[in-house]
């Protein structure tokens, strides 16, 4: 998971990335209806899965899942509601869901089905998780931290909620989560938000670990090339290795957070090298 700047502008148009056409009008109309119906409102898929919205989200999130960073070209695409439209799973009291945010651009994320939908580990994954009945996928999970006050209507403060789920559009996930040599994420210093995010999304599931392997092997090979070029004082080879590593740091590449961790601590990933700073 990496930070995604929602104010980012399209390089071609120089305008902020936002759904084209009449989506804004459709979303406003649907929101007015949701505000009237509150908890009885049925989310309109024709609005929150509109083709113009999907196109904008794909561009904003570099064609990757906002959470696991896998490219979604050959995977099921979901429009994820960061704050769920239905009652949050952890909410014990009465709550109508965040109905006023169902069509809000800032609450909509590009996601894979695995991160967004609750499911048990399937047989095609591995026995480790099947034996423990491992459940992963966000669904309607949205737990608050200590002292957090749940927003229940449009005018309530979202900032006072103290959400535990890390928001990649408002903060740097790297402050809370890092990857180890086993390619699994862990919460830095055991912090609560990192742990909750990993567990809720299932980011330590073998499904995701396997998807990171190709990136890991490519970066490790490039780090070794960088190391050999540095030892041999081969400026041309060093420049070549740096160029390729820089390409891997492009946010459009899969598993960018893993790449950042590998460059920051090559030794942890099996390469005897000081941290690599690619400018």
Q: Of 50-64, 117-131, 183-197, 229-243, where does mean pLDDT reach its minimum?
A: 117-131
Structure tokens at 159: 């900032």
Mean pLDDT, residues 80-95 taken together: 93
pLDDT confidence band for 85 (50 / 70 / 90) = very high
Q: pLDDT for 101-114, tens place per residue?
A: 999 999 999 999 88
pTM (global) more than 0.75: yes
Mean pLDDT, residues 152-164 taken together: 95
Q: pLDDT for 90-101, tens place per residue?
A: 998 899 999 999
Average pLDDT, the chain: 91
Mean pLDDT, residues 175-198 taken together: 96
The domain locations on the chain are 23-165, 211-269
pLDDT confidence band for 121 (50 / 70 / 90) = low
User: Does 266 have pLDDT greater than 70?
Assistant: yes
User: Does 132 have pLDDT greater than 70?
Assistant: no
Percentage of the chain beyond pLDDT 70 is: 93
- pLDDT for position 207: 85
- pLDDT for position 133: 58
Mean pLDDT, residues 223-252 taken together: 93
- pLDDT for position 123: 42
- pLDDT for position 256: 96
Q: pLDDT for 8-65, tens place per residue?
A: 988 888 899 999 999 999 999 999 999 999 989 999 999 999 999 999 999 999 999 9
pLDDT confidence band for 261 (50 / 70 / 90) = very high
- pLDDT for position 12: 86
Mean pLDDT, residues 231-253 taken together: 93
Q: pLDDT for 144-156, tens place per residue?
A: 999 999 999 999 9
- pLDDT for position 159: 92
């Amino acid at each position: 998971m990496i930070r995604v700047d929602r104010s980012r502008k399209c390089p071609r148009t120089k305008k902020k990335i936002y759904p084209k056409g009449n989506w804004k009008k459709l979303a406003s109309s649907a929101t007015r209806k949701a505000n009237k119906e509150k908890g009885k409102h049925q989310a309109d898929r024709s609005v929150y899965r509109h083709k113009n919205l999907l196109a904008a989200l794909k561009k904003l999130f570099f064609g990757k899942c906002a959470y696991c960073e896998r490219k979604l070209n050959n995977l099921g695409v979901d429009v994820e509601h960061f704050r769920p439209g239905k009652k949050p799973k952890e909410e014990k009291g009465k709550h109508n869901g965040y109905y006023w945010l169902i069509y809000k651009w800032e609450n909509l994320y590009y996601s894979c089905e695995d991160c967004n939908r609750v499911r048990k580990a399937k047989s095609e994954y591995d026995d480790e998780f099947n034996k423990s009945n491992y459940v992963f996928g966000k669904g309607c999970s949205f737990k608050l931290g200590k002292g957090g006050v749940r927003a229940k209507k449009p005018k309530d403060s979202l900032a006072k909620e103290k959400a535990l789920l890390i928001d990649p559009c408002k903060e740097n996930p790297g402050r809370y989560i890092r990857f180890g040599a086993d390619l699994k994420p862990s919460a830095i210093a055991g912090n609560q938000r990192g742990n909750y995010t990993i567990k809720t999304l299932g980011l330590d599931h073998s499904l995701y670990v396997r998807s990171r392997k190709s990136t890991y092997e490519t970066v490790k090979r490039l780090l070794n090339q960088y190391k050999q070029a540095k030892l041999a004082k081969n400026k041309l080879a060093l420049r070549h290795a740096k160029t390729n590593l820089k390409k891997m740091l492009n946010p459009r590449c899969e598993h960018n957070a893993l790449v950042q961790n590998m460059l920051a601590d090559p030794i942890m990933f099996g390469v005897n090298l000081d941290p690599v700073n690619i400018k």
